[in-house]
Chain A
Amino acid sequence: MPEHDVKDVRDIVINYHDGTSRKAIVLDREVPYPEGKLIVSRTDTQGVITHANQAFVEMSGYTEDELIGTNHYILRHPDMPSVAFAGLWETIEAGNKWHGYVKNLRKDGAYYWVKATVIPNIRNGVVVGYTSVRRKPSRSKISESEALYKTLS
């Protein structure tokens, strides 16, 4: 990876709640949120991705084929505290809407910040999955979230 300063590259192992883990590269490089776009994905009730729009594919750095059928935790950044996601799942499993600021990990190791909203997809009274829509966050909210997440992880 010649274009990056070696000091900025971290090789890490990410452990997920389901006992699986993977090796990932983490770079201290932010990719700006695409202007005017919404990043959209849908999952089944277990958090496995069933739909991703073009902006999602571009920002994540994965192909659509790599994303569909994969657990959404593929985007989890090690700087994100697990309590944030515990709150997310508790909220949506109770049938409610969740908002939060999320730092996501791209396939190439860079990151991007989003303001995410997740809602349950209710069909005939049954939760069949979840939709997440992300928008561009303000720099001040990103700074606040960075400070908060440091105290939580």
Chain B
Amino acid sequence: MTLNLTVSPDFAPDHISGWFIFNTWLQRQLGTGVHLELYDCFDAQRKDIKAGKFDLVYANPFDASMLVRELGFKALVRPISKPDETIIATHKDAAIQSVEDLKPGATLVTTDDPDVNRIGMIMLEPADLDASNTETLAVDSYVIVAKNVLNQNADVGFFLKDAYDELSDLIKNQMKILVSSEISVVHHTLLLSPKLQKYASTIQQRLIKMIDDEKGRSVLESMNLLGWEAMTEEETEFMIDLIDTLIDE
């Protein structure tokens, strides 16, 4: 048997090698082949997930919703102390001091990260801004978002907080943060497909214990994670319900 693993494309490129190291570690732990496939675009990945290509998915919270409710996946673990938070930042010399200073016609620069974009749009609502009265420039990475903010090609940029924090000081010093989310209960999860549920507890236990030995810890470090903690079905449902309230339809 070979387990097919994929990872949400929203982590910093520096940690790509970490996921390959994790792949090897998991293979040894389970005594079975694990194949890691990475994507640089959310849509292409989602299409392949829906086509049943993957058994194990490290998913952003919005995709987790689709994986659980539509495809019957179950969340095994979440990364410890790593909530997904969103930052809206502007050029340090910009006249705006708060989100409410933004006016209709404002320009945004974003990646195609669905959860950051949704939370970002929610944080623009106090200024009566939405997709209909803003213009969005979508780019491939948070570094490019930052470049566009620095060149003042857009009024504000949306960032995953983790990605913002990893930008160089040189870049960060030229931006100011207008708002930073503090949601704390929305985070990535590692989910297992319905057809492999008989391995759920083995995989979950191995991941939770990863932090207990030196090898496991070094793998975690290369992925920029502190460790994994178990997620119960109700915790997963709670998070998905919460995300559901953030999607306007």
Interface of A toward B, CB cutoff 8 Å: 33-38, 40, 42, 53, 55, 97, 99, 115, 117-119, 121, 123, 131-133, 135-141
Contact = CB atoms under 8 A, between A and B. Distances in A.
Contact of B181 (A36, A131, A133): A36
Contacts of B183: 36-38
14 contacts: A33-B126, A34-B182, A36-B181, A36-B182, A37-B183, A117-B245, A119-B241, A119-B244, A121-B237, A123-B237, A131-B241, A135-B122, A135-B125, A137-B126
A105 B248 CA distance: 26
Interface of B: 100, 122-123, 125-128, 179-183, 185, 237-238, 241-242, 244-246, 248-249
A121 B234 CA distance: 11
Contact of B248 (A40, A99, A121, A136): A99
B245 A119 contact: yes
Contacts of B122: 135
Contacts of B238: 42, 131
B contacts with A: majority SS: helix
A37 B237 CA distance: 20
Q: Could you say which of B181, B237, B245, B249 has the most chain A C-beta atoms within 10 Å of its C-beta? A: B245
Contacts of A53: 185
A68 B179 CA distance: 30
B167 to A, nearest CB: 19
Contacts of B127: 138
A140 B128 contact: yes
Contacts of B246: 117, 133
